[in-house]
Chains A and B, each alone.
Chain A
Amino acid sequence: MSAPTEAYVALSGVIFAIGAVGVLTRRSAIMVFLSVELMLNAANLALVAYARHWAGVGVLAGMTGQTVVFIVLAVAAAEVAVGLGILVAIFRDRASTDVDALAEVRL
């Protein structure tokens, strides 16, 4: 007996909210980045849960959701590569990754 789709979506929402709290409260840029990964995975979980829900309609309706998750994984990999490169460049310049200290890109 598998859990209903609503349970998975609720779990996804809780994980997303925890990640959002992390983005708002952590001060090290690396920790903010980890929390963003948490939010990305919550969105993926919702996509896979809805993919199973719509699989009752047809094969294509079910598999499209899972394929979108596949693409999101690739985008997340590229995002992590560029983001960590930016972090290393910032740390090299000022020996700190405190996001509160990074105020000079402000308009």
Chain B
Amino acid sequence: MAGFALLAAIMIVGALGVVLLRQPVHAALSLVGTLLTLAVVYITLQAHFLAAIQVIVYAGAIMVLFLFVIMLLNVQRQVGPRRSLPGLRWAAYAAGVALAAAVGVVAFWDGRPAPDAAVVAANLQGGGAGLIADVLFGDLLLAFHLVGVLLLTGVVGAVALVQRRADSAHGAPKGDGAAARRERAALEPGGRP
């Protein structure tokens, strides 16, 4: 129980860092810490395969993608006009605290006894890949197929979104945004590089 309290404290501090830190890179690294702690929590819940997948896929691949995009876009600390709805920030904080309190109260209200640790350990067997595969290729086979289609669609969609038009590489780029203006200036012979 003390171990769980420590893990929960680390996770909550990391999550608060994601929400409160001003620099996007710092927030992303704070989220990495939260996700790694969540992997440890999975281990305490007898889900060892999911813990490994959490480290490899989430804290590894997905967060590296995030860091790449943050550094590619070079997002500065937030500037701009003040938001249109005054008091929205405090309303959001109040809603968050109320939601957390409500979920906590409801969760602790249920007096159902915790499962017997020996039975759980015997049934889950550590949550290995074999047991997950039994369910994934059995009851959830349709979901497995749909995820395959979704990943293919996602890859094609990401490529189609990010690639530049073939004609804009030679002529002046379309659009009148600041990035388009910068590109146009870089394309001119005497322009700023």
Q: Is the interface of A mostly helix, strand, loop or mixed?
A: helix
> Cβ of B107: which chain A residues have Cβ within 8 Å of it?
6-7, 9-10, 13
Contacts of B150 in A (CB 8 A): 74-75, 78
Which chain A residues lie closer than 8 Å to B83 at the CB level?
27, 100
Q: In chain B, what residue has the closest Cβ to A98?
A: B80
Enumerate chain A residues within 8 angstroms of B104, measured Cβ to Cβ.
10, 13-14
Q: With A and B bound together, what is the CA distance between A12 and B34 in angstroms?
A: 12
Size of the chain B interface, CB-CB below 8 angstroms: 94
Please, which residues of chain B bring their CB within 8 A of the CB of A94? 177-179
B97 touches A17 (CB 8 A): yes
B124 close to A55 (CB less than 8 A): yes
A84 touches B92 (CB 8 A): no
Say whether B8 contacts A11, CB under 8 Å: yes
Contact B136 A62 (CB under 8 A): no
In the docked arrangement, what's the CA distance between A44 and B42, Å?
10
Task: Please tell me which one of the listed residues A4, A18, A81, A96 contacts residue B154 in the complex, with CB atoms under 8 A apart.
Answer: A81
Would you call B18 and A56 a contact (CB within 8 A)? no
Q: Give the docked Cα–Cα distance between A5 and B147 (Å).
A: 29
Residues of A within 8 A of B155 (CB): 81
**Contact in complex: A63, B24 (CB < 8 Å):** no
Given A11-B8, A56-B115, the answer on whether A63 and B69 have CB atoms closer than 8 Å is no
Given A22-B18, A85-B162, A89-B162, verify A3-B92 contact (CB < 8 Å).
no
Binding site for A on B (CB under 8 A): 1, 4, 8, 11-12, 15-16, 18-19, 24, 27-28, 31, 34-35, 38, 41-42, 44-47, 49-50, 53-54, 57-58, 61-62, 65-66, 69-70, 72-73, 75, 78, 80-81, 83-84, 88-89, 91-93, 95-97, 99-100, 102-104, 107-108, 110, 114-117, 119-120, 123-125, 127, 131-132, 134-136, 139-140, 143-144, 147, 150-151, 153-155, 157-159, 161-162, 175, 177-180, 182
Given A7-B8, A49-B45, 15 more A-B residue pairs with CB atoms under 8 Å apart are: A2-B117, A24-B88, A31-B18, A44-B38, A55-B119, A63-B132, A63-B135, A66-B131, A74-B147, A77-B62, A77-B154, A85-B162, A94-B179, A95-B177, A100-B80
Q: Which residues of A contact B (CB under 8 A)?
A: 1-22, 24-28, 30-31, 33-35, 37-38, 41, 44-45, 48-49, 51-56, 58-60, 62-64, 66-71, 73-82, 84-89, 91-98, 100-101
